[in-house]
Amino acid sequence: MIRSLSVKQLPSHLDLSIIFNATASHLTSLSLNYGMKNVEMDYDRSLFGMKLSDCRSLAKALEQTETLTHLSLSSNLLDDDMACMLASCFVDNISVIHLYLSDNRIADRGIRALAKVLDASSVICYLDLYDNQIATEGGRALAKALRSNVGLLSLNLRLNRIGDEVSTNSSISFLPLNG
């Protein structure tokens, strides 16, 4: 039985229910990277990054899983629309505690949607948002969410565009989380 699945080159945009149906009762860790390596002269932009249809397929599959604890969608060109779609499936999710969304294109609107999931009932303990496009508004939304969140142990916001105005213009400062 497969408990951990890491796909580093997912060239097609397939229905992810195929993977989840085959591994749903045992899969605890999933890492997906849409793209190709070593394409050289056959470069085609459509081969890279997650599409909205991929995100829809993943969101649908995530609603049915109860064993998945680690989800990595790093380097998939996720944008605000996709982040909003993923956030909606984490509202009722009680299993994913490690969420890796680094190296994407998530900006303030997507972060506001994700911040709404980080309420007091959130089970997400480790959230990696390294190298996205989060600016002041996204930082404020995260700061507001962290007021009531008691479960988040680690939050990585490196290489974003938050700036100092978030901590000086709001009543919350970003401090290291104890782990």
Domain assignment of residue 19, yes or no: yes
Residue-level pLDDT at 179:
44
Residue 54: count of CB within 10 angstroms of its CB:
22
Q: If phi over 0 gives left and psi between -120 and 50 gives alpha, with beta otherwise, what is residue 68?
A: beta
Domain assignment of residue 103, yes or no: yes
- pLDDT band, very low/low/confident/very high, at 170 (cuts 50, 70, 90): very low
Domain assignment of residue 71, yes or no: yes
CA distance 155 to 54: 26
Q: Mean pLDDT for the chain?
A: 84
Look at 11 and 146; give whichever has higher pLDDT. 146
Domain assignment of residue 61, yes or no: yes
Domain that holds residue 75: 4-169
Residue-level pLDDT at 44:
54
Closest CA to 139 of 169, 166, 101: 166
List the single range of 13-22, 41-50, 85-94, 132-141 with lowest mean pLDDT.
Answer: 41-50
Domain assignment of residue 70, yes or no: yes
In contact, 107 and 84? CB cutoff 8 Å: no
Domain assignment of residue 121, yes or no: yes
Locate 74 and state its tokens: 């790093």
CATH of the domain at 33: 3.80.10.10
Residue 23 vs residues 26, 64, 135, 163: alpha-carbon distances, Å = 6, 12, 37, 42
Q: Does the pLDDT at position 137 exceed 80?
A: yes
- Total domains, the chain: 1
Domain assignment of residue 54, yes or no: yes
Running DSSP on this structure, what letter comes out for residue 85? H
Look at 141 and 35; give whichever has higher pLDDT. 141
HSE at residue 117, side-chain half, CA atoms within 13 A, is 23
Residue 116 vs residues 9, 94, 160: alpha-carbon distances, Å = 31, 15, 19
- pLDDT band, very low/low/confident/very high, at 1 (cuts 50, 70, 90): confident
Running DSSP on this structure, what letter comes out for residue 140? H
Domain assignment of residue 69, yes or no: yes
pTM of the model as a whole? 0.85
Residue-level pLDDT at 173:
47
Locate 52 and state its tokens: 């909205």
pLDDT tens per residue, range 61-104: 888 788 999 999 999 999 999 999 999 989 888 899 999 999 99
pLDDT tens per residue, range 24-36: 678 899 999 887 6
